[in-house]
């Protein structure tokens, strides 16, 4: 009996242990499956192409501006504004229907719209359907009298306008950084270059004003584009407003009033005087040209910084833990300036899309613009945003190596000062023509020695020439770099006085941008 009881206990124990093991196995299998699903989802995130402008370079603000959520929300605001204007002007749309549309602007069912678009092959009508599902009491009046371009084109104009305004703030940030830099270094002599060959002295600050002047011209162009942006309004399939002529029983004043009301609601003062189904695609050309202009200015500045960093005179910011090269640990590559140049080339080329598209539009409407614009316009804005963010980062942390600059100045100053040295020798009784020949001969000889790796001995050679009647100490006393920078400090002051009113009220940057 004892053996039987023990045997039964072992069976029970084994049964319980077996069930526990099975439970553990099931839990482990479930946990493993959940973990596998989780990592599969993570893996899938990296299995599709993603634009580097989205994943690496552009700001969250610009990414949101051109997001699908923002775009469709703008569409719904446009549909609500149209219904409101039609209600105000006496069409059979109730205040309750307008209120219902207003209340459901933000709850967008993208899955519903996507499923509907598969069926009807029309994105605008798919979102009319989804909006009607969200606001069933107003479903029958959404898009009344409108064509698709009412929401697509007006929506784009709103996004582009807001995008330009955002870029304007970024551009002002670059100018503000450069203004502070120019002020700080307005009197610091540096070697000027023409043809990338040593020329007369300038100052570090004066050179920065050259970059600023380019960016200021971009600001002027951007402001001009913003000031002259117009709304499409609700104009019908070929721009004739025929559908509204029917809806308003021939009352053209109400049509004009409707368009004025909708335009004003979105911050536009004017509609295009005439149009086809779309707004003129030359607007896109003007906008992308403005973005391209900013890219050109950024490229010029960044390229100068790259050249100067090669000579170690100037350096872009370099983080404490930053790695310059995977193989050459000592390197400090100007990777941000290089990235500016790289992105700028892309944007300059991207801007060619708009004039090509504008030039081939047929009559009142063709659709060969759509696919191109879906890519070229948002990518142009994202790229301009990335470039200006980089420019802000670089200009905020530029490093000036004053001792290296001074060394380069001292090396070439004897050549630069030769005319002044000649004038001083003439004052002391020398013959100008004879002195000119002495300088020509000695400077060529000194240059030849420098090409052999020897230091510049031009002053030593000139002091040995009887025609100069000055010793080396006398000649050296005439080599004060600040005497050879012309009006650079004054030019910087004059320039900045004109610029400062434009830069007033720009907030300070709170933190570095990780780029």
The whole-angstrom separation of Cα 80 and Cα 100 is 9
DSSP 394-420: HHHS-EE-HHHHHHHHHHHHHHHTHHH
SS3 content of the chain, % helix, strand, coil (to 5): 70, 5, 25
Q: Report helix, strand or coil for 22.
A: helix
The whole-angstrom separation of Cα 218 and Cα 294 is 6
As a residue count, the chain comes to 515
Backbone angles phi, psi at 514, to 5 degrees: -80, 110
Q: Strand 197-203 to strand 189-194: parallel, antiparallel, or no bridges (unpaired)? A: antiparallel
For 312, left (φ over 0), alpha (ψ -120 to 50), or beta? Answer: left
The whole-angstrom separation of Cα 401 and Cα 405 is 6
| Cα-based torsion angle of the residue sequence 163, 70, 117, 275 in order, rounded to the nearest 10 degrees | -40
The whole-angstrom separation of Cα 442 and Cα 145 is 85
Residue with tokens 């967008």: 108
Maximal CA-CA distance, the chain? 138
**Helices 204-227 and 148-184, interaxial angle, to 10°?**
160
> Which residues contact residue 51 at a Cβ distance below 8 angstroms, ignoring those fewer than 6 apart?
379, 382
Q: Give how far the C-alpha of residue 279 lies from the chain's centroid of Cα atoms, to the nearest Å.
A: 25
Residue with tokens 């530029």: 398
| Tokens read off for 417 | 């000062």
* Degrees, nearest 5: CA angle 105-111-116: 95
Provide the annotated active-site residues: 195, 325
Q: Report helix, strand or coil for 307.
A: helix
The whole-angstrom separation of Cα 248 and Cα 137 is 23
Contact 175, 503 (CB under 8 A): yes
């Amino acid at each position: 009996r004892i053996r039987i009881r023990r045997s039964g206990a072992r069976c029970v124990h084994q049964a319980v242990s077996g069930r526990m093991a099975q439970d553990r196995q099931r839990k482990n299998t479930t946990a493993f499956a959940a973990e596998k699903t989780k990592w599969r989802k993570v893996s899938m995130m990296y299995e599709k192409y993603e634009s580097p402008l989205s994943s690496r370079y552009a700001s969250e603000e610009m990414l949101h501006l051109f997001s699908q959520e923002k775009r469709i929300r703008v569409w719904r605001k446009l549909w609500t504004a149209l219904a409101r204007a039609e209600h105000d002007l006496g069409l059979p749309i109730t205040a309750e229907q307008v209120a219902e549309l207003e209340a459901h602007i933000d709850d967008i069912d993208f899955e519903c719209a996507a499923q509907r678009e598969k069926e009807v092959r029309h994105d605008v009508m798919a979102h009319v359907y989804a909006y009607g599902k969200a606001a069933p009491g107003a479903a029958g009046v959404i898009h009344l009298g409108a064509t698709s371009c009412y929401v697509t084109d007006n929506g784009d104009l709103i996004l582009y306008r807001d995008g330009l305004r955002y870029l304007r703030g970024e551009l002002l940030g670059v100018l503000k950084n450069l203004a502070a830099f120019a002020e700080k270094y307005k009197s610091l002599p540096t070697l000027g270059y023409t043809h990338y060959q040593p020329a007369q002295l300038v100052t570090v600050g004066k050179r920065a004003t050259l970059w600023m002047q380019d960016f200021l011209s971009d600001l002027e162009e951007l402001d001009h584009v913003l000031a002259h942006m117009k709304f499409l309004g609700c104009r019908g399939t070929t721009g004739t407003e025929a559908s509204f002529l029917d809806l308003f029983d021939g009352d053209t004043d109400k049509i004009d009033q409707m368009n004025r009301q909708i335009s004003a609601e979105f911050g536009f003062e004017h509609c295009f005087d005439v149009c086809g189904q779309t707004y003129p695609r030359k607007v896109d050309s003007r906008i992308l040209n403005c973005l391209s202009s900013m890219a050109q200015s950024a490229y010029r500045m960044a390229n100068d910084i790259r050249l100067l960093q090669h000579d170690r005179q100037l350096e872009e910011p370099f983080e404490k833990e930053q790695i310059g090269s995977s193989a050459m640990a000592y390197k400090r590559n100007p990777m941000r300036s290089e990235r500016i140049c790289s992105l700028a080339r892309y944007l300059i080329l991207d801007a060619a899309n708009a004039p090509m598209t504008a030039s081939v539009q047929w009559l009142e409407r063709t659709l060969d613009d759509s696919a191109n614009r879906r890519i070229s316009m948002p990518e142009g804005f994202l790229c301009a945003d990335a470039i200006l963010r980089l420019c802000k980062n670089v200009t905020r942390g530029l490093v000036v190596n004053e001792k290296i600059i001074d060394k380069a100045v001292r090396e070439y100053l004897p050549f630069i000062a030769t005319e002044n040295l000649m004038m001083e020798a003439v004052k002391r009784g020398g013959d100008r023509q004879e002195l000119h020949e002495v300088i020509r001969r000695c400077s060529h000889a000194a240059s030849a020695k420098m090409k052999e790796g020897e230091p510049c001995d031009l002053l030593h050679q000139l002091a040995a020439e009887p025609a100069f009647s000055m010793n080396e100490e006398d000649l050296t006393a005439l080599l004060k770099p600040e005497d050879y920078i012309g009006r650079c400090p004054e030019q910087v002051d004059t320039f900045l006085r004109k610029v400062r009113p434009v830069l007033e009220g720009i907030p300070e940057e709170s933190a570095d941008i990780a780029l």
